[in-house]
Structure 1
Amino acid sequence: MPVDIAKIKGLTSTQVLVSRKQHGENLLSYKKENSFLKIFIGIFKEPMAILLLVAIAIYLASGDFTNGIFLALAVFAISAISLYQDLEEQECTRKVEIILSAELQGD
């Protein structure tokens, strides 16, 4: 059953104060955003990334530079994509928080 948004009324100032006393402030709690460096280091703390770094080291130590360099480039590309996604996620989260923090007035 669809809701007619035009008929929905907001709370009055008095109702807002009563609601805040009963339920507390309507605030979001969130983790502090990670910096570029923390995200980058976090990527290489993943077990799969560690395994790939070890494989790169083995390739290079055994003299197979072609495969070692190719794998290193692939790991770098995947890390760059992951870093970009994490930074975009933080930006989107920040924008959603701004939208949700807007106060609606009913009276």
Structure 2
Amino acid sequence: MQVVCLCAEWCGTCRDWRPVIDALARAHPQVRWRWLDIEDEADLLGDLDVETLPTLLVGRGDRVLFFGSVLPKAELVKRLVESLATQEHAAAVDGDVAALWQRLR
């Protein structure tokens, strides 16, 4: 499973969020964690418009399991990741999100 945090350096909430994501990555080494700055890596996003920061993209294999904004609270993300760890069904996402996931795999 991979968790991608879509953020921006200019966003104060995202800057506060980064150490939380780093701590979660250390606590859950079985999960691949990635910080993706939506401005620095805008070409990778393609036509996807991220409206709310921070936004998480979680997937496994060729399936997106979750895409959405999250409150920057470690316990919420921990529970989300744990609940998705056994999920087999893909989330309903639009084509731009699916295309981004394919580029990130």
Q: What's the TM-score, normalizing by structure 2? A: 0.22
TM-score by length of 1: 0.22
The structure with the greater share of residues assigned to helix is 1
**Higher Rg of the two aligned structures:** 1
- Identify the structure with the greater strand proportion: 2
